C-alpha cells in the first residue's frame, strides 16, 4: 500500500472516532553501504526502514501510536491506539500541532544521479588500491567505504498540513593506516557528492599524508597554553555541546543559557549559525518535524545569544515563537529539538595567521572520548587529544597522548580569533561545521618537566 492510500484510511478512521486534532508523520529510508578491506569487499549492507506515527490530542493530552506496516488494518489500529493512549495519560503539559497555510522555502536539491551498486563496489575497491598506492608506509588495516542514502518524510494533520520531502545523497570514506616500523597512525577523509566527479586517488593521498604527519608524536608539556582547534576538532566540540542551545534543555535546567537570550555569552569574534539550507548539506529541508517552515538564523551573533532553538511546545511554555527546529530521532520518536547545519561563521584570519597569533601553544585536530569526557550540563570537558605543537607561530612537531581540559561556556568567551575557511564534514539532517578557532588558553595535561 502506498503512503497516500494509507493516509486516506487514517483520515477516515480519525473522522469516525470524532478526533479533531491529529497528525500522521511518515518516514522511509533506503541505504546501501559497501566496505572494502585488504583488497576485497568485506561488507555489503542494503536496508529499507521507516514507518508511521499517529498523534492525536484528546482532552488536551497527546497520544502516540506507530506502525511499520501500511495497510487498512494498521491504519485503524494506530488511530485507535493513539486515542486510547491519550485518554490514559495524566500529563498537564499543553500540546500543539503545526498549522497549515504557511509558506515554505524550497531547498536546493542535488540533481546528480546516485551510483549503481556495481559502481559502489568498484569505488570501494578502487579506494583500497588508491590507499596502498599512496605511500609505502600504508599497511593492512586501511578501509574504504562507498554509500548512498535516500530519505522521504511526510506530515499530514487536521490543521491543514500536507507536506512531503524527498532527497538523496552519496558519499565516500577513505580510512588510512600507516606505520614507520615502530608505531602506527591513522586518519580518514570523507567526501559527499557526485560520484562522476569524485577523485578517489586525491582523497586517499590526503588521508595517507595526514596519517604520516602524525608519526613520531611526542607528549607535550603540561601547562596552560593557547590552543588552535582545527575545523574537524571544533566541529566535534560544537556537536557535543549543541544541546545547550535547545530551549528544552534550558527549561529543564540542563543548559546555562536559560534566560540569556539578548545577552553576551561569548567572544565578539564568535557567530554561530543554524542553517537548514546550508550549501554543502546533503539533506536541506524546508520544514521541521512539526511542519513549521525552517529558516537560517544566527544563534549567537558577535558574542550575543540571539535565540535558543525552539519547537512549538517549548516556545509556548517560554512565551516565544518556534524557530522551526522540532525534530524526531525516528518516525516513532517523541518530538524534540535539534539544529540542522550548525556552524561557526568564518572570520577574517587564515589558519597561518591564527598560528602566528598563538605564538607558542598546541594545535588540536583530534578529540577523543567526547561522550565520557564531556559534561554537557556543566560544560566541563577533559578530552583525549592529538595534534601538533605551535612554536614561534608555526605548526611543527606532532603530539599525542595528552588531554585538553576546560569548560565549553568559558571557551566560547575565550575565542580570540576565527579562521576564514569553514570545513563541512557532516552527513544527514543534523550536521556541524567550523573553521579553525584560536582559544586564548586551555589546560594541557601531558608530561611533567
Q: Is the pLDDT of residue 399 over 90?
A: yes
DSSP assigned state of 294 = P
> Tens of pLDDT along 313-331?
999 999 999 999 999 999 9
pLDDT band at 113 (very low <50, low <70, confident <90, very high): confident
Q: What is the mean pLDDT of residues 288-295?
A: 97
The CA-atom distances, in angstroms, between 255 and each of 21, 242, 252, 325 are 32, 10, 8, 17
> Tens of pLDDT along 70-93?
999 999 999 999 999 888 877 677
Taking the C-alpha atoms of residue 153 and residue 84, their distance in angstroms, rounded to an integer, is: 26
DSSP assigned state of 309 = B
Q: Is the pLDDT of residue 449 over 70?
A: no
| CA-wise closest residue to 242 among 338, 313, 323 | 338
Predicted TM-score (pTM) of the model is: 0.94
| CA-wise closest residue to 340 among 22, 13, 105 | 105
> Tens of pLDDT along 234-272?
999 999 999 999 999 999 999 999 999 999 999 999 999
**What is the tally of helices (H) and strands (E) in the chain?**
10, 20
Taking the C-alpha atoms of residue 406 and residue 321, their distance in angstroms, rounded to an integer, is: 34
Q: What is the pLDDT of residue 266?
A: 98
| CA-wise closest residue to 171 among 148, 151, 197 | 148
Taking the C-alpha atoms of residue 228 and residue 394, their distance in angstroms, rounded to an integer, is: 11
Taking the C-alpha atoms of residue 423 and residue 236, their distance in angstroms, rounded to an integer, is: 12
| CA-wise closest residue to 368 among 226, 240, 218 | 240
Q: What is the pLDDT of residue 93?
A: 75
> Tens of pLDDT along 264-279?
999 999 999 999 999 9
The CA-atom distances, in angstroms, between 211 and each of 113, 204, 217, 397, 398 are 32, 11, 11, 13, 11
Taking the C-alpha atoms of residue 228 and residue 231, their distance in angstroms, rounded to an integer, is: 9
Q: What is the pLDDT of residue 354?
A: 97
Q: What pairs with residue 399 in β-bridges?
A: 218, 387
Q: What is the mean pLDDT of residues 150-177?
A: 95
Phi and psi at 408, nearest 5°, equal -60, -40
Q: What is the pLDDT of residue 60?
A: 86
Amino acid at each position: 500500500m502506498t503512503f497516500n492510500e494509507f493516509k486516506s484510511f487514517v483520515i477516515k478512521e480519525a473522522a469516525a472516532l470524532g478526533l479533531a486534532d491529529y497528525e500522521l508523520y511518515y518516514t522511509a529510508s533506503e541505504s546501501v553501504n559497501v566496505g572494502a578491506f585488504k583488497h576485497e569487499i568485506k561488507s555489503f549492507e542494503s536496508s529499507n526502514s521507516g514507518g508511521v506515527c499517529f498523534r492525536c490530542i484528546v482532552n488536551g493530552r497527546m497520544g502516540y501510536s506507530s506502525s511499520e506496516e501500511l495497510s487498512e488494518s494498521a491504519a485503524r489500529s494506530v488511530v485507535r491506539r493513539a486515542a486510547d493512549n491519550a485518554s490514559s495519560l495524566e500529563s498537564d503539559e499543553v500540546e500543539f500541532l503545526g498549522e497549515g497555510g504557511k509558506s515554505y522555502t524550497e531547498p536546493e536539491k542535488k540533481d546528480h544521479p546516485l551510483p549503481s551498486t556495481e559502481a559502489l563496489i568498484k569505488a570501494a575497491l578502487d579506494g583500497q588500491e588508491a590507499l596502498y598506492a599512496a605511500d609505502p608506509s600504508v599497511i593492512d588495516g586501511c578501509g574504504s567505504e562507498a554509500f548512498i542514502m535516500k530519505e522521504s518524510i511526510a506530515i499530514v494533520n487536521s490543521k491543514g498540513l500536507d507536506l512531503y520531502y524527498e532527497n538523496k545523497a552519496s558519499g565516500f570514506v577513505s580510512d588510512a593506516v600507516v606505520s614507520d616500523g615502530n608505531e602506527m597512525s591513522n586518519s580518514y577523509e570523507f567526501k559527499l557528492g557526485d560520484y562522476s566527479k569524485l577523485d578517489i586517488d586525491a582523497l586517499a593521498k590526503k588521508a595517507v599524508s595526514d596519517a604520516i604527519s602524525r608519526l613520531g608524536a611526542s607528549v607535550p608539556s603540561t601547562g596552560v597554553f593557547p590552543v588552535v582547534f582545527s575545523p574537524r576538532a571544533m566541529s566535534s566540540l560544537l556537536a557535543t555541546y549543541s544541546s545547550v542551545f535547545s530551549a528544552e534543555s534550558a527549561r529543564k535546567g540542563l543548559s546555562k543559557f536559560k534566560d540569556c537570550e539578548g545577552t553576551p555569552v561569548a567572544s565578539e569574534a564568535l557567530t554561530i549559525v543554524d542553517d537548514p539550507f546550508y550549501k554543502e548539506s546533503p539533506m536541506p529541508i524546508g520544514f521541521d518535524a512539526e511542519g513549521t517552515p525552517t529558516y537560517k538564523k544566527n544563534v549567537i551573533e558577535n558574542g550575543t545569544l540571539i535565540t535558543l532553538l525552539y519547537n512549538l511546545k517549548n516556545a509556548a511554555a517560554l512565551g516565544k515563537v518556534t524557530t522551526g527546529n522540532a525534530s524526531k530521532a525516528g518516525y516513532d520518536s517523541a518530538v524534540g529539538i535539534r539544529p540542522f547545519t550548525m556552524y561557526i561563521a568564518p572570520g577574517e584570519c587564515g589558519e597561518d595567521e591564527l598560528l602566528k597569533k598563538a605564538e607558542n601553544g598546541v594545535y588540536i585536530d583530534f578529540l577523543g572520548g567526547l561522550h565520557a569526557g564531556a559534561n554537557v550540563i556543566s560544560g566541563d570537558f577533559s578530552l583525549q587529544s592529538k595534534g601538533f605543537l605551535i612554536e614561534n607561530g608555526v605548526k611543527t612537531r606532532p603530539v599525542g597522548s595528552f588531554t585538553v581540559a576546560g569548560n565549553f561556556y568559558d571557551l566560547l568567551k575565550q575565542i580570540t580569533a576565527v579562521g576564514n575557511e569553514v570545513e563541512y564534514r557532516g552527513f544527514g539532517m543534523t550536521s556541524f561545521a567550523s573553521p579553525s578557532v584560536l582559544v586564548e588558553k586551555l589546560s594541557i595535561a601531558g608530561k611533567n618537566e
